[in-house]
């Protein structure tokens, strides 16, 4: 009967290992194209950005109690309004 036709086979999805192997190959090709010196410069720039005083202060504020931060900011806003 016509309703018992077999469905056409779909394309097989690549396995996890195949995807990882392809990603590693792409990364190594990009590394060769860019060069290790450039990658080291990028890595150093990212580390400097993470260690900047602004980034450190931001991390400290995020780690603090949110209620205290809100209270201090509102206090600073009131002081600015008085001036």
The tens digit of pLDDT for each residue in 13-49 reads 889 999 999 999 999 998 899 998 998 998 898 888 8
- 14 contact partners, CB below 8 Å, separation of at least 6: 22
Map residue 63 onto helix, strand or coil.
helix
| pTM of the predicted protein model | 0.39
**Is residue 54's pLDDT more than 70?**
yes
pLDDT for residue 16? 94
pLDDT at 27: 92
Q: So what's the pLDDT on residue 15?
A: 92
Task: Name the residue ranges covered by the structural domains of the chain.
Answer: 15-51, 55-83
pLDDT tier at 83 (50, 70, 90 boundaries)? low
What does the alpha-carbon distance between residue 68 and residue 39 come to, in Å, rounded to a whole number?
Answer: 41
Please compute the mean of the pLDDT values over residues 60-83 and round it to a whole number. Answer: 88
* pLDDT level of residue 63 (50, 70, 90 thresholds): very high
With a CB cutoff of 8 Å and minimum separation 6, the contacts of 61 are: 69
């Amino acid at each position: 009967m016509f309703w018992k036709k077999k469905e056409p086979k779909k394309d097989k999805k690549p396995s996890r290992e195949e995807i990882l192997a392809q990603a590693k190959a792409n990364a190594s090709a990009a590394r060769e194209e860019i060069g290790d010196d450039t990658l080291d410069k990028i890595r150093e720039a990212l580390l400097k950005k993470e260690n900047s005083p602004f980034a450190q202060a931001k991390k400290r504020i995020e780690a603090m109690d949110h209620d205290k931060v809100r209270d201090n900011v509102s206090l600073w806003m009131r002081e600015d309004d008085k001036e």
